[in-house]
């Protein structure tokens, strides 16, 4: 079978896996796949580092996607083309809501489409919503792992420009008011991929969700407070949720 151009794997390479855990950072891939049985690297092309392992004797793919929506869109499209139908993003985020603390984990039920990639697919009136099966599995997973007190679910914000989180760096004075509106509207955190993942998966008929560790505080002006906190828990919740979905 032909390997897909960007991810450099075929359906045969992933053993007809239907499940893919994705992240931005290639270095996070082995931290996720180590929780799978007999995991191994099967490809590392561009930003797409791909591992394959097993849960309940079922093949599970773990892949990095790089930073942002464009490369993520390419990755999930190609994995979908070779049979993947369930995608869980395991990522990081910056706090918008005072309900969320550094090291907490957040499941996005829907995302503000403040990015450009998903608009290439469909008008902004179309919602970016996570799949209910994945949302409920992530919630149950957090409960199973005794993480309910640090777990949040709700609307999140997706963007293209990381440093737009610092309005003082942006010449457009309206940007600050837009950030204020996301906060007042109850958005929990901001990140850079979920809205495109949700939109594409809705259009294609796949299931998607996301669990993000809160490592920065946008309102406090600290884009990265502690990048180590919450990531282990987010990974564990994603693995547990995959077991539930299986």
pLDDT (tens digit per residue) in 206-235: 999 999 999 999 878 888 888 889 999 999
**Residue 224's pLDDT is what?**
87
Q: Taking the model in full, what pTM does it have?
A: 0.96
pLDDT band at 166 (very low <50, low <70, confident <90, very high): confident
- Return the minimum-mean-pLDDT range out of 56-70, 86-100, 118-132, 168-182: 168-182
| 224 vs 214: CA distance, rounded Å | 9
For the chain, count helices (H), then strands (E). Answer: 6, 10
CA dihedral (54, 59, 65, 70) in degrees, to 10, reads -150
Mean pLDDT within 111-137: 98
| 32 vs 49: CA distance, rounded Å | 12
**Residue 169's pLDDT is what?**
84
Host H or E run for residue 19:
strand 19-23
**Residue 118's pLDDT is what?**
98
- Return the minimum-mean-pLDDT range out of 35-49, 89-103, 160-174, 232-246: 160-174
1 pLDDT higher than 80: no
21 pLDDT higher than 90: yes
| 122 vs 108: CA distance, rounded Å | 20
**Ordered domains of the chain (ranges, CATH):** 19-245 (3.40.50.1580)
**Residue 182's pLDDT is what?**
95
**Residue 70's pLDDT is what?**
98
Per-residue pLDDT tens over the stretch 59-114 = 999 999 999 999 999 999 999 999 999 999 999 999 999 999 999 999 999 999 99
């Amino acid at each position: 079978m032909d390997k897909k151009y960007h991810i450099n794997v075929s359906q045969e390479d992933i053993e007809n896996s239907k499940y893919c855990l994705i992240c931005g950072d290639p270095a996070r891939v082995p931290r996720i796949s180590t929780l799978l049985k007999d995991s191994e690297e099967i490809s590392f092309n561009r930003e797409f580092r791909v591992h394959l392992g097993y849960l309940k004797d079922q093949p599970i793919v773990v892949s990095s996607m790089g930073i942002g929506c464009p490369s993520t869109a390419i990755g999930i499209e190609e994995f979908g083309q070779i049979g993947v139908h369930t995608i869980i993003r395991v990522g990081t985020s910056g706090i918008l809501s005072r309900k969320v603390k550094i090291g907490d984990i957040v499941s996005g039920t829907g995302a503000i489409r403040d990015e450009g990639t998903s608009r290439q697919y469909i008008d902004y009136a179309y919602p970016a919503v996570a799949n209910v099966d994945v949302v409920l599995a992530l919630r149950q997973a957090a409960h199973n792992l005794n993480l309910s007190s640090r777990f949040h679910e709700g609307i999140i914000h997706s963007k293209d420009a990381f440093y737009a989180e610092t309005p003082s760096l942006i010449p457009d004075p309206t940007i600050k008011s837009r950030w204020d509106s996301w906060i007042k509207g109850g958005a929990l955190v901001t990140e850079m991929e979920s809205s495109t993942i949700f939109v594409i998966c809705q259009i294609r008929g796949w299931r998607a969700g996301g669990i993000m560790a809160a490592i920065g505080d946008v309102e406090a002006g600290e884009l990265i407070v502690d990048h180590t906190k919450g990531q282990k828990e987010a990974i564990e919740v994603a693995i547990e949720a995959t077991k539930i979905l299986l």
